[in-house]
Amino acid sequence: MPEIRVTPLGAGQDVGRSCILLSIGNKNVMLDCGMHMGYNDERRFPDFSYVTAEGPVTNFVDCVIISHFHLDHCGALPYFTEMVGYSGPIYMTHPTKAIAPILLEDMRKVAVEKKGESNFFTSQMIKDCMKKVIAVTLHQSVMVDSNLEIKAYYAGHVLGAAMFSIRVGSQSVVYTGDYNMTPDRHLGAAWIDKCRPDLLITESTYATTIRDSKRCRERDFLKKVHECIDRGGKVLIPVFALGRAQELCILLETYWERMNLKIPIYFAAGLTEKANNYYKMFITWTNQKIRKTFVQRNMFDFKHIKPFDKSYIDNPGAMVVFATPGMLHAGLSLQIFKKLAPNENNMIIMPGFCVSGTVGHKVLNGAKKIEFENRQVIEVKMSVQYMSFSAHADAKGIMQLIQYCEPKNVLLVHGEAPKMEFLKEKIRQEFNLDCFMPANGETFVLETRFNIPIDVSLPLLKAEAKRYNATPPDPKKPRIIHGVLVVKDNSTCLMDVDEACREAGITRHVIRFTSTVRLDDPGPSSQTLDKLQRLFVERMEGTWSIQQTDGSLSIESVLVKVEGGEHEQKTVYVSWTNQDERLGSLVLEFIQNIGQNETGSL
């Protein structure tokens, strides 16, 4: 039986370093190649020994698919290509291809130049890695080779994020990456067609969460920011360069305009301009409202939000600062946090998920003192607020996606084990589907049915449509197409009889089937023939030519012959051609009539 095999090398019962090895129809596909923000040792990258053990990695992995530009999904890609040695094709959308190298370079600077880490990729490695990337368009079917087909679907989440369908022969898998089922201020909702894959591999970051109304959450966010600046405090909002940053900037910009506020809002220098350029470049990936108003007013040209300089942090008075990265694991957001944390007037608003091991995760879990590697200890007296503006699907959204694409099985990744367990049971109860959640390094095997795709010829389809439209359809009965199955050049096609004969180069023959009925009670041959004739005249619709010659009755393509003398046991032979289905069923009916009701039992 054919199999689909899935081995998480990262994000199995965990959030961070997403990397799923998929084996489907003798093809090996790597889904994402991310890094873990909570580790600085070898655990930050996926365990590539699973693919290197098979010999040269390019011979083993047929392609790599990157769902979006977040580093927990693409951060290990240059390491995998330039240091592990993969040189095959890499697929991602156009926005992801444009933005990923900028974030990779930003992360490399923090890791190497500021932390002095070794065994890390260089700027040149990032450039060489990106040369291997093939950009794909949404809903475009891409043939990786003659058997392996991939297709991207809109995922919301961040600019350029995509879900991918992977198909080999009759086997198919959908991998979601990260996605959001509700539209926000700058992106639309994820969408996929009813593709009914054998397996849906979905993220489950918010497996047990059902988020409140977005409008309530936004109102709460603005109220808390306003309260803090009213008392002269500083608000730190750690964000990633693209995504939630733009969402919250649009929200604050609109509020500042409405309330006529003069308190400065800052965004980490250099990133705002770059981010806005990408939104302008890929405006078709944003939501309908932004696309409509873009000609009159670009939502990303902010009047109230200015570039940030490190010296501003010591300025007296209130301010709001957006700084990267979003999990406080390094960079400017962490430096500003260290400055602001000891003052109880200040506030930090964490707008998204933080992985275990990061400073953001510790802060959200209520740590009052945080010790750093250089033995520096920071007291956390500032107000800590968590408001999920995260662009992940919540539990309701995950169930909605399952309803949309109707998979045969579900596999959960990118989530915490206890929450995944809860969602797994919910999926089983609601959809009656098998649901799985393998850990990192654990291989899940799914046996699939062997389906043979069959084409149907155009003449046959036209003939069947004509026949089908002639009678009212019965929704309870399956629609049957009558034809001849022709196998040629590794393809299978259903054709009508004449077409199949021409294809095979043979003359059409009429086949006759013969049924025999013995009558235990011998009666006059003429009586039997009369009864048969009468039966056909009564039962058959339309006009039929009836002939009676030499003790046999022929009604169009049906031949009835009775053998045996007047006082002997009779044998009735019935023959008909295969051209009219009604004749076949009628013959069986009259055989039964003769045997049971007319001249004896069968």
- Active-site positions read 203
- For residues 312 and 272, what is the distance between their CA atoms, to the nearest angstrom? 17
Interatomic CA distance for residues 226 and 574, integer angstroms:
93
Q: Is 490 exposed, middle or buried (0-12, 13-18, 19+ CB in 10 A)?
A: exposed
Extract the tokens encoding 100. Answer: 């990923």
Indicate the pairing of strand 27-31 with strand 63-65. Answer: parallel
Q: What are all long-range contacts of 291-299, with beta carbons under 8 Å and residues at least 24 apart?
A: 299/186, 299/250
Residue 95 tokens read as: 């926005």
Residue 137 · residue 94 · CB < 8 Å: yes
User: The tokens of 398 are what?
Assistant: 């995950």
Rounded distance between C-alpha atoms, residue 61 and residue 521, angstroms: 76
Nearest to 306 by CA among 356, 277, 269: 269
d(C-alpha 303, C-alpha 273), whole Å: 13
DSSP letters spanning 92-109 = EEHHHHHHHHHHHHHHHI
Q: What number of other Cβ atoms are within 10 A of residue 371's Cβ? A: 11
**The two structure tokens encoding residue 239:** 């964000």
DSSP assignment of 107-137: HHIIIIIIT--SS---HHHHHHHHTTEEEE-
| C-alpha span between 16 and 354 (Å, rounded) | 10
Helix (H, G, I), strand (E, B) or coil at 350: strand
Q: Which whole-number Å values give the CA distances from 151 to 28, 334, 445, in the listed order?
A: 16, 39, 23
CB 556 within 8 A of CB 583: yes
